[in-house]
Amino acid sequence: MKQVFVLEAENSIREMLDTALKAEGHGIITASDSHVALTLLKSLDLNQKKFPFDLMICDCMLFQVDELEMCRWLRDQGSLVPILILSASGSEADCIRALEAGADDFLAKPFNTQEFLIRCRALLRRHSLNFLPHSKVLQFKDILVYPQQHRVLVRGKEAYLSPKLFRLLEVFISNPHRVWSRQELFDQVWEPNFIPDTKTLDVHIRWLREKIELSPNRPKYVITVPRIGYRFG
């Protein structure tokens, strides 16, 4: 059984999510106030082995000062918990902002309950796979990736990556100098039911560059290959 935290303002939607997730066998904690929720999270141990939630679901319209404050705070603290953002607007700009803030997925309202559950299953599955035992340490120049610990060292310093960014870097560093098409990267990193969107990949590439490059605007690791995709190194 997984533990899911649901932050949703609308009572009807919150109850629907609660019912759907409980039917999947998960334990649910719900909240309707973002400030109370953030205070709660700040009181918890964010260590992956002690953090009580396996998935965060957040209604971005709740945040009055900064609608993605909670998402950014969790990532800044090094938390790897998957985050699914729900949005009433469904605009491309909102999606990009959510992904840039560290969200793993974005779902526009109104949405189908089955689609919601598919997204949740995919996030939980990938999150679990990130912590399966591995013996291999991956290295390329001054970047070290420890799959078992879900750790990344860049020039000797820890870099905190979301599960999706970690998987993207793992794919790249496992295949240095290989040119990946956009579709191949979607197939490797995103769930099978995900509908590819060029901007989604571009946002993740930009965010990965900000984590590992000395100069993200002049990348030395994640290189754009015009009209094809990307290569690493």
123, 187: one domain: no
Neighbour order of strands in the sheet with 27-31 = 27-31, 3-7, 55-59, 83-87, 105-108
Output the domain CATH number for residue 53. 3.40.50.2300
168, 210: one domain: yes
Q: Identify the domain containing residue 80 by its residue range.
A: 3-129
110, 177: one domain: no
Look at residue 132 in the predicted model and tell me its pLDDT: 47
Greater model confidence, 231 or 163? 231
Closest CA to 187 of 201, 207, 176, 166: 201
Look at residue 181 in the predicted model and tell me its pLDDT: 92
Closest CA to 50 of 78, 26, 85, 92: 78
Give the 3-state secondary structure of residue 140: strand
- Look at the chain and report how many structural domains it folds into: 2
pLDDT per residue as tens digits for the range 135-171: 478 889 889 988 877 889 998 888 888 888 999 999 9
Give yes or no for a contact between 150 and 166, defined as CB atoms under 8 angstroms apart.
Answer: yes
Residue that finishes a domain, picked among 129, 147, 182: 129
Sign of CA dihedral 216, 218, 223, 228: positive
72, 46: one domain: yes
Q: Is 24 exposed, middle or buried (0-12, 13-18, 19+ CB in 10 A)?
A: middle
pLDDT per residue as tens digits for the range 37-84: 888 888 888 776 678 899 999 887 654 445 577 787 887 777 788 899
Output the domain CATH number for residue 152. 1.10.10.10
Sign of CA dihedral 212, 187, 182, 114: negative
Q: Is residue 133 predicted with pLDDT exceeding 50?
A: no
Look at residue 65 in the predicted model and tell me its pLDDT: 42
146, 91: one domain: no
What's the Rg (C-alpha) of the chain?
Answer: 18
